[in-house]
Chains A and B, each alone.
Chain A
Amino acid sequence: MKINLRIWLKIPDAEAATVKNTLLRRMGYEDALEGLGKERLWSIEVDDSVADPGDLARRLARELVNENKESYAASVDSIEFEGGYIPVKVGLHIEDGEAVSAQNRLRNRLGFDMVRGVERSVIWKLALKSEKPEKTAEEIAERLLINPHKDFYEIMT
């Protein structure tokens, strides 16, 4: 099974603000983009035999979330988004060293023997008022959010 931890900042997200400003002020999306948010996503593959995935999610969050400045939501296997925006998942298609390090840390240092794999990505939440919001989200992903030589994107609606 897969435990998903969606993590967002409680404090203002300067990176999201910069991306939004770039889209509005430099790339011509002032008529299409209403809002933009960002979340980090850890997707952690664990043994199917785990009895209480909710408790495991809480214990994993203690290691991967800094609750002084971040909030999180946990889910098992699927991710439900709230609506009102297009979620665009961006991750590396080349090896992700930080995800590898996190997996090693969880398994070998912190005793999470049930962890089988760790993936890391960013969810860009694009509130769009264009006629074809998914098409616009794809365009934004390809023009700004990814470098195709190392990143992939996925529209998650």
Chain B
Amino acid sequence: MKIAVVQFPGTNCEHETLVAARSAGLSGEIFRWNRPAEELSDFDGYIIPGGFSYQDRLRAGAIASKEPVMESLREEAADGKPIIGICNGFQILVESGLLPGLGGVDVALAQNVMVSKGEIVRRGFYCAWTTLRHEAPPERCSGSFLLKKGDLVRMPLAHAEGNLVTVDEDLMERLNEENQVIFRYCDEGGWVEDEFPVNVNGSLESIAAICNPEGNVLGMMPHPERSSFAWQLPPTDPGKSAGDMGSPGPGRRIFESMKRYIEVRR
């Protein structure tokens, strides 16, 4: 099972994302944006990692979304192959219309606005460990295929524009009804609260990740590759491993899910 980690100018998480994918049993390589796009069809799945594609010029993800590789990824997605966009990768998938995948650019990932007790307490870039609650049934989505509804996963995030907004008043109802909301930010006990610091960026209904209607394309703001090994966890986390460098961390479940999704699809 070979995956492509798609790298644009300004992407900066491609190496650790590939390491995390390999730790889950996937093989693959970094696929630079200027390779012939049709070569993407040789792969079984795709990850668009985090970073600042094109220096976030115009707005995060907007320029990368117009690259020929994205047109090829659209075709591969239509074939049912899995795509996971992490952080800037999520922003690119939103700008390209692949997420939430309803026919156009259906949402925006706007600047973070942290709200507590009715007041804006902070804006912009934020970096923290967060807990995600899995909101969909098992096997709904390629990147959370192995997770049960209600499972909690710890991973860090680091972004300035992850605040999911829309002018479509019916969109949230549709995403909820179709189980396209995959992760919500929650506290360590799994409680979702629409207030900072639990809702880290002001995102609608504390959304951290969504998938397309078919479930093969997932976009998430937090970074699973940064908690794929237990040693990456913060010192206070009981799951932290200091000795065994290969011991899995919670983020690895995302990559293991992708692997399982590819196996089942075959």
A binding-site residues for B, Cβ under 8 Å = 14-15, 18-19, 22, 26-27, 92, 94-95, 97, 101, 144-145, 147-151
Contact residues, B166-190 vs A (CB, 8 A): 166-168
Query: What's the least CB distance linking B120 to chain A, in Å?
Result: 8
Q: Which residues of A contact B54 (CB under 8 A)?
A: 18
| A18-B63, A22-B63, A27-B66 given; A149·B107 CB < 8 A | yes
* Cβ-defined partner of A149 (8 Å) among B55, B58, B105, B120: B105
Does A97 lie within 8 Å of B113, measured CB to CB? yes
Contacts of B106 in A (CB 8 A): 149
> 29 A-B residue contacts at CB 8 Å?
A14-B57, A15-B57, A15-B58, A18-B55, A18-B58, A19-B57, A19-B63, A22-B63, A22-B66, A26-B66, A26-B67, A26-B68, A27-B66, A92-B110, A94-B110, A94-B165, A97-B120, A97-B123, A145-B58, A147-B62, A147-B108, A148-B105, A149-B165, A149-B166, A149-B168, A150-B108, A150-B110, A151-B59, A151-B108
Bound-complex Cα distance A16 to B150 (A): 45
Report the minimal beta-carbon distance from B187 to chain A, rounded to whole angstroms: 25
Inter-subunit contact A148/B167 (CB<8 Å): yes
Q: Per-residue 0/1 for B61-73: is the Cβ within 8 Å of any A Cβ (1 yes, 0 no)?
A: 0110011100000
Which residues does chain A contribute within 8 Å of B123, judged by CB atoms? Answer: 97, 101
Query: A-B pairs with the 4 shortest C-beta distances?
Result: A149-B108, A97-B123, A150-B108, A26-B66
CA gap between A111 and B136 in the complex, in Å: 52
Q: Contacts A14-B55, A19-B57, A150-B108; is A95 near B113 (CB within 8 Å)?
A: yes
Judge whether B58 and A144 touch: CB under 8 Å: yes
CA distance A151 to B123 in the complex (A): 18
- Knowing A19-B57, A22-B63, A97-B124, say if A147 contacts B113 (CB, 8 Å): no
Q: Which B residues are in CB contact (< 8 Å) with A94?
A: 110, 165
Q: A147-B59, A150-B110 are in contact. List 6 more A-B contacts (CB 8 A).
A: A19-B58, A94-B110, A97-B111, A147-B108, A148-B108, A151-B59
Question: Could you tell me the distance between the alpha carbons of A94 and B112 in the complex, rounded to whole angstroms?
Answer: 12
Smallest distance from the beta carbon of B209 to chain A beta carbons, Å? 18
A151: min CB distance to chain B, Å = 8
The binding surface of chain B is classed by DSSP as loop
Q: How far, in angstroms, from A107 to B54 measured CA to CA in the complex?
A: 35
Chain A residues, CB < 8 A from B95: 147
Compute how far the CA of A18 lies from the CA of B67 in the bound complex, rounded to whole angstroms.
Answer: 12
Chain B residues, Cβ within 8 Å of A149: 105-108, 110, 165-168
The CA of A26 and the CA of B58, in the complex, are separated in Å by 15
Chain A: which residue is nearest B167 at the CB level? A149
Closest residue on chain A to residue B58 by CB atoms: A19
Chain A residues with CB under 8 A of B105: 147-149
- Distance of A15 Cα from B60 Cα, bound (Å): 12
Chain A nearest CB from B190 CB (Å) reads: 29
Looking at the complex, which one of B62, B120, B165 makes contact with A144 (CB distance below 8 Å)? B62
Cβ < 8 Å to A, chain B residues 12-56: 54-55
- A-facing residues in B124-144 (Cβ within 8 Å): 124
Task: Tell me, in angstroms, the Cα distance from A144 to B95 when the chains sit together.
Answer: 9
CB distance from B210 to the nearest CB of A (A): 14
How far is it, in angstroms, between the C-alpha of A75 and the C-alpha of B58 when the chains are bound? 26
Nearest CB of chain A from residue B231's CB, rounded to whole Å:
36
Chain A residues contacting B113 (CB-CB under 8 Å) are 95, 97
Complex Cα distance, B110 from A123, in Å, reads: 20
Inter-chain contacts of B168 with A (CB < 8 A): 149
| Bound complex: CA A15 to CA B63 (Å) | 10
Chain A residue nearest in CB terms to B124: A97
Which of these, B57, B107, B108, B111, contacts A18 with CB under 8 Å?
A: B57
**Chain B residues closer than 8 Å to A19, beta-carbon distance:** 57-58, 63
Count chain A CB atoms within 10 A of each CB in B57, B106, B123, B124 and give the residue with the most: B57
